[in-house]
Amino acid sequence: MQEVSLDGPVSADQALLWRDDSLLLLDQRRLPRDEVFIVCRDARATADAIRTMVVRGAPAIGIAAAYGVVLAARDRYARDPQGWRGALEEDLQLLAAARPTAVNLLWAIARLRTVIGDLGGGDPAPRLLDEALAIHRQDRADNLRMGDFGAGLITGRSAVITHCNTGGLATGGWGTALGVIRAAYSQGKIERVYADETRPWLQGARLTAWELVRDGIPVELMADSAAAARMAAGGVSWVIVGADRIAANGDVANKIGTYGLAVAARHHGVKFMVAAPTSTIDPATLDGAAIPIEQRPAEEVLQCAGQPIAAAGAGVWNPVFDVTPATLVDAIVTELGIIERPDADKIAHHLAKV
């Protein structure tokens, strides 16, 4: 993969860039040490970047996939202006298989498929690029609305806990759960953020802390296993997380460790909020048991920064997501509003707004 750097420091809102007819993805595996972009010029490079977690976070994965479709269509049309549609299917399947749990990936590809179906003759890339750019812009606008809705649920002034990374790096800009935190902090409702380090990829340590420090929002990093003790100590009003897929009954798939946070939050009387765009809700998935959970390589747990940390011969169970039952969720917040104590009927009513 080709690497490039931008002049000056990079902001989280610059994690995905369309520049010079190519997709530039900030390599999140190398943050916070290096601010380097991977250049994607075709669908295979885009799918590899998604699969290897150069880009991560459900909304950002969807946006990257949309640009990947543009690159694929441009390439296929250049090779065969008459038969490009049939050849494109291979690229769409390649992109769809890159991260199977994140429903935004499939949603974005489906949206581009609709555009492809409406196209006449000529080069498809310009029209598909317009759609990908629209998805990108809309995601940021939706995040801003989501942030305001979520902030409205927070009363008084206290600390919050968050898990993984849900900011501009994981979205088209501003963030989902981190967008709620940003909005609430600007309103004087949050005094500090406790960020789980989020093993084994350390998205909280490497990415969330990086974003919050740059924003000037007080952040204290803690081991994932410290969260329950932090709740017991008092002063935490909400746990605020994102989602990679929300089932039709309100069950939530998110970064591994989220379920444990929800259980601890309920025990300690701490509210639990999920912030995610409506595109993350999958009405075709009836409940959490039907959500495919991606298993990642054993090396992610056996090593840290390429160095062995475990006894040789140890086995590994490494699901990248877990499922939090809807009964443990106090509120799901989307760009369309708030679903309090979600269930199947409330999710269906919410989707009817679309």
Catalytic annotation, residues: 244
Pair 164, 254: CB distance under 8 Å: yes
CA distance 168 to 143: 9
Length of the chain, please?
Answer: 354
CA distance 170 to 206: 13
DSSP line for 71-122: HHHHHHHHH-TTTHHHHHHHHHHHHHTSSSS-HHHHHHHHHHHHHHHH--SS
Q: How far apart are the first and last CA of the chain?
A: 39
Q: Which long-range contacts (CB under 8 A, 24 or more apart) does 342-351 make?
A: 342/249, 342/250, 343/249, 343/250, 344/248, 344/249, 344/250, 346/250, 347/246, 347/248, 347/249, 347/250, 347/281, 347/283, 348/248, 348/283, 350/278, 350/281, 351/278, 351/281, 351/283
| Cα angle 82-83-86, degrees, rounded to a multiple of 5 | 150
- Coil vs helix vs strand at 247: strand
How far is CA 82 from each of CA 16, 121, 124, 216, 279, rounded to the nearest angstrom? 31, 9, 11, 54, 33
Tokens at 294, concatenated: 């991606």
Between CA 115 and CA 151 the distance in angstroms is 35
d(CA 3, CA 26): 9
Beta carbons of 63 and 107 less than 8 angstroms apart = no
Alpha carbon distance 285, 282 (integer Å):
6
Distance CA 156, CA 195 (A): 20
